[in-house]
Amino acid sequence: MKVLIEIPDNEAVFGMKVLKSLFFVKKAKPISSSAIGLWEDLKLAASEVRLHKEGKIQLKTAQQLLDEL
């Protein structure tokens, strides 16, 4: 299982030491700001797709997206 933990910057070093000291933690590494942004964008996109499938929102067509470019 993968878990995302948000730790304040001023406690990050200590938090990483604690995580790495736990025998059951296989891997603990920080992620970049750009990766966080991408993760948030993907969550939003998945949410919009779910809402579209439920019929709660209407998404743009591919032609509408191309027209915006």
The tens-digit pLDDT sequence of the chain (69 residues) is 888 888 999 999 999 999 999 999 999 989 888 998 999 999 999 999 999 999 999 999 999 999 999
Do 42 and 60 sit in the same domain of this protein?
A: yes
pTM, 2 dp: 0.59
* CA 58 and chain centroid, separation: 23
CA distance 46 to 39: 11
Burial of 15 (0-12, 13-18, 19+ CB in 10 A): middle
Structural domain range at position 62: 31-69
Question: SS3 of 62, please?
Answer: helix
Do 41 and 54 sit in the same domain of this protein?
A: yes
* Domains of the chain: total: 2
Do 67 and 38 sit in the same domain of this protein?
A: yes
Do 35 and 67 sit in the same domain of this protein?
A: yes
Do 4 and 25 sit in the same domain of this protein?
A: yes
Do 59 and 39 sit in the same domain of this protein?
A: yes
Q: What b/e sequence results for 19-34 when a residue is b if at least 16 CB atoms lie within 10 Å of its CB, and e otherwise?
A: eeeeeeeeeeeeeeee
